[in-house]
Structures are given as C-alpha cells and as structure tokens.
Structure 1
Amino acid sequence: MKALLVDDEQHVRHAIQLLGNWEEVGIDVLLEAADGHEAIEAITAHQPEIILSDMRMPGKDGMALLEWISAHNPHSKVIVISGYDDFELVRHAIRHGGMDYLLKPVEAEELNASLLKAVKAWMDEETSRTESARQSIVVNRMRPHYQDRLLTELAIGRGSRSAHIQRLQEELNLPCHIPVCSVAVTSLSHLDADCLAKYRSQPDLLIFSVLNVCAEMLSTPAEGVSFHQLNQPDEIVLLHWGSQSSLEHILGTINDGLEQTIQRRLHFGISSCKNYPEGISAAYLEASSTLWRRNILLTRQRIHSTTETTSRNKGKRLTSFEEPMRIAAMSCSAASISAAVAEWLDPFTELEAISAEQLQLWIQELEWMLGRWLEDREHTTVHEEKSDEEQEPPLTELPFDSEGLLSFSLLRSLLEHRLLAAGKAITAQHHTDPDPMTEIARYMDAHYQEDLSLQQIAARFYLSREYISRKFKQQFGLNWSEYLGKLRINNAKLLLHNPSLRVAAISEMVGFQDEKYFSKVFKKIEGITPAEYRKTVLHTGT
C-alpha cells in the first residue's frame, strides 16, 4: 500500500515520516510532494491509497487539491494535517472526503490512529468494490442467457402467462401492445463444415456474430427481437411484430449483412402471421418445420415459407443396414467400409428431393448405431486418438456445401470416416483416456446455467451414464447431479448479494426452471432459503 505526504515544508514531511508506524498499518511505499501540482502528478502516476496533506501551500493549495482528489481519485483516503484551526477549512475538508483533520504539531499516537482508521476504511471499501465488480461480471455474463431463456420458454409454449410476458416487456423493453407476430428460424448446423471450422474454438463468436447482425437489422425492440434458442444450441430465432412479407424483407437484409460478416447466407424457415402471445408457440413450430423440410438437393432460395418435402423418403433407413456396416467397420478395411456405404447411399443419389430433417435423422441413426456398438465396453470414444482437427465440434456439422445443399461426397466421407474410427475403437486391445471426469466437471462449470442432463453429458463424452455416475462420485465425492446443484447454488449465492435481482430471475440464471425447486435445493444445501440468505448477507454486509 502507498501513502503520499503533501506539505510545502520538507522538515514537516520528514517529521511525519518519523512519527508514522507505516509498516505496521500496511504501508510500504512513501511518496512526497511539495504542493498541489506535484501531488496531482504523484497521484496520477502512482495511485496512492492514503494521502496526508497540508491545507495552506503556495500554488495549488490543500483546498484545491482535495477538490481534485474527490473528482479524480475518490477512492483515496485523505488525512488533513494543518496548522490552522479554521472552521471553514475543516468544513471544506469534510465536504471533499477528508477522513480526519489533525492540527500541527501532530502527536504520534494521534497520527497513527488516523492512519489505521484510513487504511481500514480503504480496505473495507476495496473489498466491497471487488465483490460488487464480481457481481457485475456474473450478472453481465448471465443477462443475455437470462433473456434467451425467457424468449426460449415463450417459443416452446412455456411462457405465455401474463407474468412471463410482463417480465419480457420489462427485460427487453418490448412494446406494450403487440397484436401479431411472425417467426423465423435458422440453424447454424445448415452451414458448411468449412465455415463452422473457423469458429470451432469459439462457437459463441459465431452465435454472437449472427445475433448481432439480426439485432442490427431488426433496428429496435419495437420491430422484433432475435435470440439463441437454448433448447436447440444451433438455432437462432427471430420474432417480428409484423407480417410474413415484411419479415422476408428483414431476412434478406440480414443475409446481406451475414455475407459481409461470416461470408455465408443462412437458410430461414418462416411462419405465417399469428396472434401474440398465444400463437407464438405454433408459429415457432411452423417456422422450424418449414426450415427442416426444405429440399436440400435443389432449392437454392434462402427463405422458406412453405414445406418443400412432404414425407421422409422410402429408401432404407441407416439402421436397417446396421449389420453389414458393423461387419465392414470391424474389418477396419477402408475398401469394405466404402463398399458398404455405397450399397446403402447410392440409391438416394437418384432422388429429386431430400429434406434436411431426413439428413438429420440419418446422422442421428449413425450416432445411435455407433453408441450401441460401443456400449458393451466400459468406456471409450468413437474417435480414437483424435487430433485437434478431429475433436468433437461444438456445433452440429451436417454434410452441407457452402450453399446449404446436401453434398453426397461429404456424406459418404463422413460415414466412411466414422465407421472406420468406430471399428478401430471396437477392436483396440488397449485404450488410454485423459481424465474424463475432470473434463466433464469443466464442461459443467462452463454450462451449469443450461438444462443439463446425464444423458446429454453421456452422449457428448461418449461414455455410458452408469460409468459416469460411478466414476464421477469416486473422483469428486459427489454424484454429478449433486456437483451440478452445488455449482448452481454457489453462483446463486453470489447473485443474491444484488438486491435488484429477483429470486425467480436468479433461479433461471443459474439453470433452475422452477423457483420452488430452486428454493428447495438451496435450503437443502445451505440450511436456509434464498430469501433468508439474502436477508442475512445484506444485513451483515458479507
């Protein structure tokens, strides 16, 4: 900690240096200034926490210096040491933040008592400032997620109650009267792998970039809002308080902006105009269905307002060809795998229409098949000895080209690569794995505010639920749900220090969908309710 001595008389500065128990109160750097101008230079350069100043000095005197400090360095604690017992000087010092007014010649005991009080006051306030900064960081980080959660619940039909609509209006500054709404849905999984690869290490940057362009083109909340659909991590949704035709125009400008930003144009499914808010859920489902039932073989248009494919193709499902593919995979022969894939895939190349929904089903079937093949092993990953480039992508990658159309060559390559990797994993005699439980804990630390499930974590890390349950508790002394609960409650405790945040909002910010359940878990872990905890910390100031 630093202290600055300001006095025009050097012998006075020297005497104060001798009288003070500087190290005992935690001050290890002493600075000096002969007047207000030198003091301002020293404060600007060194930011001392404690300032001891005379009042009557040539040039910029102590009165002017205190005014400057209160405006430019208000966190510093000022002790005035003056030879003038003048009420106006005392009042001026107090008005501009002076903690004490000591008369010369100052006594050692009096000086050190003032120093101790000033140091303690600064440290208490610094602790409070640090805690406030931590709270602000947490709130600022969680607020966009909280807004996305409110809008996600509205879209999926869980947020049409009047209280929820009121919270949306307050949080997003929405218009008080919204008669109708049109919905647009896009999925980042409809981008090609080359584009997604640029954001593989920073998937949030891609989501932010798309949302930023959407928000810019929507102009104001009076025109509409865009959000990240949290139940579908690849999905961006737009709500427009207007007609389908005006929404199509907005989407055109959004794609122009995206082409400049991410060098791609997205496919959007849009709904017909519905009443707000009761029609939002139906409009969202309509827009999503339109997007996923677009023809990914021929249609190059980017805005889809009608369903372009009516049903799934009658060709063989991937799972109906499971055994030949499993045998080919276990052979670890690239030629055998290629032949098995071709036998299943080639008939589809003659079709005129395939939907994005059908493609997604094939990929889901592939994942399910590989999971079945590996589930009899205690634990493993499909990608054995993966390089950095082969790590599981944070966003779903489907075999689309840069126009968002199906690439049969990419689909063929994907199937062959995954089958060969699975075959090697199945037949491997030895398998070494980095500490998967620590990786799972890190993932939970970063995503605790999301709707996590053991099934989701098991699928992400290619481990069985039973294995995770057993090994996680062995390693951390808690099962995964207890760990997640404590993580959420610890972050909730931090947010409860902010009296402007409602308990219901905090529960959603940390991943609880039900306030009552949040309170139940909080009380089970902490022994008191969130409201009681808040009352305690606000009363004690801890």
Structure 2
Amino acid sequence: MYKVIVVDDEPSTREIIKRFGAWERLGMAVVGEAEDGAEALRLIERSAPQLLITDMRMPGVDGVMLMTAVKERHPDMRMIVISGYDEFGYARQALKHGALDYILKPVDAAELNAALEKCRTQLAEAAGEPLVIDLESALPAKTHKELIAAAFRDMSPERLDAQLDRLGAELADKRPSRQELRRLAGELLMLLKELMEENSLEIGELRQIAVPETLATGEQLASFLRGRFAVALDSLVRQRKFKTKLNLDEVRRHIDNRFQEPISLEELAKRFFVSKEYLSKAFRLEYGRNLTDYLLHLRMEKVRELLADERLPIRTAAEMAGYEDLSYFYRVFKRHFGASPGELRDGLKSSNRNG
C-alpha cells in the first residue's frame, strides 16, 4: 500500500478527497491529514508517505513552502495540488515545485482518480514493480465507463463515439496485453447489455457475440465496441421516437438513477420524445406528485441518510445529493424538514443514543 497524507485547512475538502479517492483499488491508503504545512511536515516525518495531496493557500506554512521543504527532504515523494484558484500563476508554481497534477476545487472524482493513477504509475515504475492493468484502473469512475453510459442514455452518438475514441487512445498508452483487452471488451459488452435491459431493449444476438481473439490494440477495441453500441443506440432512438405510449416507469427509473445530477422537465421531455406539458401531467397522475417534488424528495432522503454520518460535513452532504449552492440548499432543507441540517443531525444523534 502506498501511503498518502491530505493537507487542507478546509475539513470539507479533506473529507471529499478521502471519500472520492479509489484508494483500495489503486493500492493506496490515507494515513493522515493536516490543516497546514507545519502540521503536515511533522506528519510526514512520522508516517513517511509516498504521496502528498495539498492545498496551495493555507495559514502559516502554505502549500508552496510545504512543497519546497518536501522537495528538499523527500525528493522521491509525489505531490498533487488541490486549489480553489483557477489561475496560471498558481498552477505554474505548483508544477515548478514538483506537483504532478493541479486539480481545481470543487474536487471532481474523475480528475482526482486520474491524478492518483498517474502517481501510482510513477511510484510503481520507480520501485521497479511490474505495472498490471486491472479493469477498474483502465476504466476509472466517471472517466470512461460512466461517460459511455451517460452518452448512451442521452442518445448522443457523437459523444459515444468520442468517448470510445478516448478510451482507445488511453489504452494505447497503457499497452495492455491481448488478454486484458479481451477482458475489458467483455466488461463493456456487459455494460451495453445492462443499458439495453435498463431501456427495455431486446438483447437478441448480443447474447451470442464473442470478443474476437485477434483484438490487439486500443483502437481495435474502440472500433469493435463502436459497432455494437451504435446498433443498440439506433434501436433506442427508434423505440423512443415511434412508441405510442410513454413508459412512466422508465422515466422514474431514470430520475432514481440520476437524481444527484441536474435534471429538468425540458431535458426529460426531450429524452422521451413527449411534450413538457404531457410528461408533467402524466407523471403527476401516475405517482401523485409532480416531477419537481419527486426529485426534491429523493435528494432530501439522500441528505438525511448522509447526515447520519457525523464525520461528513454538511456542505459535503449537500454536494453529494446534488446541491452546489449551499445557501439555496439550507432554504430548501428547512422548508422540507422544518429544521436546519444541523438540528436534524442532532436529532438523529439523540435518537441513535436512545435507541
């Protein structure tokens, strides 16, 4: 396990990094966290980590001073910078002082795990370890697998082709073996089957499709998958466009699966080839509440579930339920529950103690 420490004066950012990182899959573990550079240097001496994730602007010993000290005392340590400042000067400073990557706040899981993957590769190569490509590393969350699925669900052949091309290009850099390519192709065919079943499409001949043994490159993999996904996507578009009855269960499943993302009545109407007015009325008649109220209910229940974890900052819980504007989130939450998030958390804590 490669040891990692996280340094940021915002507890919520540290919590997000710890939650978003695919630590176990990448063979990493967060062994400590610090609020400033001085505390981080003491922690580094005690735990001897291989990777430092740090903010740039902190009180006292800031990120630049911390990275300078680390570069002098621990030249083999890898560093990633997390910053709320989208300015070239900050990025240049970070790279000048040895950072492998510069990630902007709010932290995106895909960007974080891509940077961690880069660090893991360098650490493995420096240690002379054989670098094995596993399926999850080849398809980190929200960089390929989820983006391919999102393009399919959005019925966008252009985005789907572009994502498969990016996958092929990245695999060319990784140089996987034929066996690894065939396993990866099998994983993505399974994803396609799941997407077809999710959309009530007939799988048919897809059940019998075998991955060619001649598959040898990332480009060949992308080409093979492009044909299979294109046929299924064409079926989905035709089904949506020409069916005579709206499948409201399908609409609800879509919302249930993606309620943490921005969802609008306009987007749903376009996706299911109906008018906004018809969709709104049909949904209300079927489920007893309109789309906005249904979406609000899902998000509020998710927040309630997250608030049960006392270590998770309220801001983080809001973001994980789909709310980026914290002041708006507080207003909606108070109106829905009749209490603030802090008051509800205290109530949950008291209930757990009494129970």
* TM-score class, shorter: 0.3 to 0.5
Q: TM-score with structure 1 length normalisation?
A: 0.31
User: Greater helix percent: which structure?
Assistant: 2
Q: Which has the larger radius of gyration?
A: 1
